[in-house]
Amino acid sequence: MEKKRLSDLLHDLSQPLCASVINLKVLASFLEKDKLDLPEIKNIVADVEREQNRAVEILNTLRTTIKEI
C-alpha cells in the first residue's frame, strides 16, 4: 500500500513540474521573439508560481508519508 501511495505522489509531483517547464518554454519563446505581451507574461509567471507551490505541497506530503514508513 505504501509503495502505491508513494508512486501516486511522485506522479502527482511530475504534473506541476512538467507544467512549469512548458510555461517557462513559452515564456522563453516570447522573450526570444521580443514579443512582450505583459498581461500574458504575468499570467505565465502566476501559473508557474502556482505550479511550484503545488509541487511543494506534494513534497511535504511525500515527506510525511516517508516518515510513516
DSSP code for 35: -
Average pLDDT over residues 13-39: 90
The confidence score (pLDDT) of residue 25 equals 96
Number of neighbouring beta carbons within 10 Å of residue 17: 14
User: How many domains, in total, are found in the chain?
Assistant: 1
DSSP code for 69: -
pTM equals 0.82
Give the domain extent around 8. Answer: 2-68
Q: How far is CA 52 from the centre of its chain?
A: 4
| Residue 48: closest CA among 69, 18, 9 | 18
Confidence of residue 26 (pLDDT cuts 50, 70, 90): very high
Confidence of residue 1 (pLDDT cuts 50, 70, 90): low
Q: What is the dihedral of CA 57, 7, 21, 39, to 10 degrees?
A: -40
The confidence score (pLDDT) of residue 11 equals 92
